Structure 1
Amino acid sequence: MTVHVSTDAVTRSAKGLPALVLNADYRPLSYYPLSLWSWQDAVKAVFLGRVHIVAEYDQVVSSPSFCMRLPSVICLKEYVKPPRYPAFTRFNVFLRDRFECQYCGSSKDLTFDHVIPRCHGGETTWENVVAACSPCNLRKGGLLPAAAQMWPRQKPVMPTVQQLHNNGRLFPPNHLHESWLDFLYWDAELEP
């Protein structure tokens, strides 16, 4: 089946009209990056019977024998158990540390620092690596925290996936479709 997008949808950005993907418990698969599928992948998942459509855009896709509104929120039919602990990556270290230098609080020119330098036997692990801006990283160099008089603001630990999700909510994407909001912030405290 060939699907053609209506003229209005074509004029959107190249990424245009993604669908928010929820797990079977109606929670996003991830918050940062936000779990989004292209409209093409969302439509394919609908046809394969892998998802339920929860909300739709006004834009329509059609073929000679079929027409449907594009899904804006979809929910997996089968629950995908998230990993308990995230992968140890530079991005996840930054996310754990909320994209702030753990020495001065700057969010500019971030890199990572070994609290106990490798030249002193420090390992590249969750418990020894923190986000650091380049000036602080250069100032600390290969010194131990006491010698440099520089200690991380928080003790570096291995975060859970949930902790990273909670931090990810602090950095919402530039575009949030109104149909997504109930699913992204459903557990946020309500204002009186």
Structure 2
Amino acid sequence: MSLATKKVLVLNADFQAFGVCNVYRAFLLVFMNKAEIIIPAENITLCTVNRAYSVPSVIKLNRYINIPYKGVMMSRQNIFKRDNFSCLYCGSKNNLTLDHVIPRSRGGQSTWKNLVTACKSCNSKKGDRTPDEALMDLAYQPFKPSFVLFLKNFSGLNEESWRPYLEVGVH
């Protein structure tokens, strides 16, 4: 993995997951004494002409940043990630679209709990009906993921060193 694509977990001063940034941003935060390295990346260093620095895997901010609400933005891509890029009706991974569980024509909203990933075939088959009316079962009920749950399960970033900080209620 190149340094340009490597991600670093950023913790708030209370050790709660705050976000993810690239190595260069994390290194700058550490270099400017705004953060400290909690866990360095294994076998990776950032070299200058006369010094080698540890590349961080997890950093902690030195000052607590108050965030009133940290949620996951609802987007097409994030719904696909939540649903593992699979149709929730048949499991297909091809020709994916979004489907409103309760159709918009019946007052269904575009929310985390009403949007699911569906292949074009299942979306057409379901049409303007609910899954029950169309006799189609969902693999699971759609849900709004928490920020930490999204980082842990759906972001595609599976750093083993991050695991202790992404377990709910650990710190």
| TM-score over 0.5 (shorter chain) | yes
Q: CA deviation at 1:50?
A: 1.0
Q: Equivalent residues in 2 for 1:30-41 (5 A)?
A: 30=19, 35-38=20-23, 40-41=24-25
CA distance in 2, matches of 1:183, 1:94: 23
Task: Indicate which of 53, 71, 74 corresponds to 1:88.
Answer: 74
Residue of structure 1 in register with 2:145 after alignment: 159
Task: Indicate which of 136, 142, 146 corresponds to 2:132.
Answer: 146
For the aligned residue pairs, the C-alpha RMSD in angstroms reads 3.2
CA distance in 2, matches of 1:86, 1:19: 18
CA distance in 2, matches of 1:58, 1:165: 23
Residue of structure 1 in register with 2:63 after alignment: 78
Are residue 47 (structure 1) and residue 47 (structure 2) matched? no
CA distance in 2, matches of 1:167, 1:13: 23
CA distance in 1, matches of 2:79, 2:88: 11
CA distance in 2, matches of 1:19, 1:144: 40
Q: CA deviation at 1:71?
A: 2.0
Are residue 99 (structure 1) and residue 110 (structure 2) matched? no
2:61 partner letter: L
CA distance in 2, matches of 1:125, 1:146: 19
Q: CA deviation at 1:113?
A: 0.2
CA distance in 2, matches of 1:126, 1:19: 26
The answer to whether the 8 A contact 2:34-2:61 is kept is yes
Residue of structure 2 in register with 1:20 after alignment: 8
Q: How many residues align?
A: 162
The answer to whether the 8 A contact 1:83-1:161 is kept is no
Residue of structure 2 in register with 1:109 after alignment: 95
Unaligned residue ranges in structure 2 (runs of 5+)? none
Aligned with 1:95: secondary structure?
A: helix
Are residue 67 (structure 1) and residue 51 (structure 2) matched? yes
| TM norm structure 1 | 0.65
Q: Equivalent residues in 2 for 1:119-138 (5 A)?
A: 119-138=105-124
The answer to whether the 8 A contact 2:17-2:166 is kept is no
2:78 partner letter: N
Aligned with 1:46: secondary structure?
A: helix
| TM norm structure 2 | 0.71
Max Rg structure: 1
Distance 1:58 1:156, change over 3 A: closer
Q: CA deviation at 1:37?
A: 1.3
1:21 partner letter: L
Distance 1:82 1:76, change over 3 A: farther
